[in-house]
Amino acid sequence: GAGVSQSPSNKVTEKGKDVELRCDPISGHTALYWYRQSLGQGLEFLIYFQGNSAPDKSGLPSDRFSAERTGGSVSTLTIQRTQQEDSAVYLCASSLGWTSGRDTQYFGPGTRLTVL
Amino acid sequence: AQSVTQPDIHITVSEGASLELRCNYSYGATPYLFWYVQSPGQGLQLLLKYFSGDTLVQGIKGFEAEFKRSQSSFNLRKPSVHWSDAAEYFCAVGARGTSYGKLTFGQGTILTVHP
């Protein structure tokens, strides 16, 4: 079946602009995750949605970052007033969720964000 | 909080040679352990995973890994490397309990394969 998809694949923006990154999880997966991959910091957890529970936002680096998940499926990560240090690859993953017992996250191809 | 160390930033091997990539983790209980591979410009592909039971786990593409609790390690091995294995490899630990869902990754090991 189809894997996790992300759009756009590349995004170039100017400092101070807002950006939205989209993630379509694998059908039937109740859990959705966002990670950031940058040269200096490696792979970092950002946020985690599990079903209808309140999301775990503990990895969001600042209040400029937010994410929502509509209808338990598609998710959008929004970065407001982008800064150059936001330049990174943003990876989305989905899984069956903790109730499955042995949860495994499957990753999308990522969105490469460049802030000029 | 959990952490993962991959001591080797870059490894070079000849095609056909054996491979071992090291991973050490820090976690207060038995963790969930994963190895992912990332080719240039691609997302992460799961190679294998350990949750419990048999400490030697088999994965895709001929890879295997062994969980050693006494050494807090989860090293990845392959008996004979192919040129197509050149990529970056990430070890990750997933916590149980309230931190469930957050994978903590190592810094990655870049594998170069010489013909």
* A2 vs B16 pLDDT, higher one: B16
Q: Cβ–Cβ of B102/A104 closer than 8 Å?
A: no
Check whether B90 has a pLDDT greater than 90: yes
Q: With contacts defined as CB-CB under 8 Å, which chain A residues touch B102? A: 45, 48, 56, 58-59
Which amino acid is residue A46, in one-letter code? L
B106 and chain A in contact, CB less than 8 A = yes
Distance between CA B107 and CA A2 in Å, rounded? Answer: 29
A48/B contact by beta carbon, under 8 A = yes
Residue of A nearest to B99 (CA): A56
Give the A:B interface size as CB pairs under 8 Å. Answer: 51
Q: Which of A104-113, B83-92, B95-104 has the lowest mean pLDDT?
A: B95-104
For chain B, say whether A102 makes contact (Cβ under 8 Å).
Answer: yes
Chain A neighbors of B49, CB-CB under 8 A: 102, 104
A42: chain B residues, CB-CB within 8 Å: 105-108
At A13-28, the pLDDT tens digits run: 999 999 999 999 999 8
Nearest to A110 among B43, B103, B104 (CB): B43
A72: confidence class by pLDDT, cuts 50, 70, 90: confident
Q: How far apart are the C-alpha atoms of A105 and A99, rounded to whole Å? A: 13
Model confidence over B20-77: pLDDT tens digits?
A: 999 999 987 778 899 999 998 888 999 999 988 899 999 999 999 999 999 999 999 9
pLDDT score at A106: 92
At B99, the pLDDT band (50, 70, 90 cuts) reads: low
Chain A nearest CA to B75, separation (Å): 19
In DSSP notation, B30-62 reads PPEEEEEEE-TT--EEEEEEE-SS-SEEE-GGG
Mean pLDDT calculated for residue range A63-83: 94
Q: How confident is the model at residue A40 (pLDDT cuts 50, 70, 90)?
A: confident
- Confidence band (pLDDT; 50, 70, 90) for A6? very high
H helices, E strands: number in chain A:
0, 10
Q: Which residue has 């090291």 as its token pair?
A: B22
> What is d(CA A5, CA B89) in angstroms, rounded to the nearest whole number?
21
First-residue to last-residue Cα distance in chain B: 41
Q: What is the dihedral of CA B103, A74, A51, B104, to 10 degrees?
A: 0
The distance of B61 to chain A (nearest Cα, Å) reads 17
Number of C-beta neighbours around residue A106 at 10 A: 19
Contact: B36, A107; criterion CB under 8 Å: yes
How does pLDDT run across A51-69, given as a tens digit for each residue? 888 898 999 999 999 999 9
* Interchain CB distance below 8 Å, A42 and B106: yes
pLDDT band at residue B112 under the 50/70/90 scheme: very high
pLDDT score of A97: 80
Which residues of chain A neighbour B107 with C-beta distances below 8 Å?
A: 42
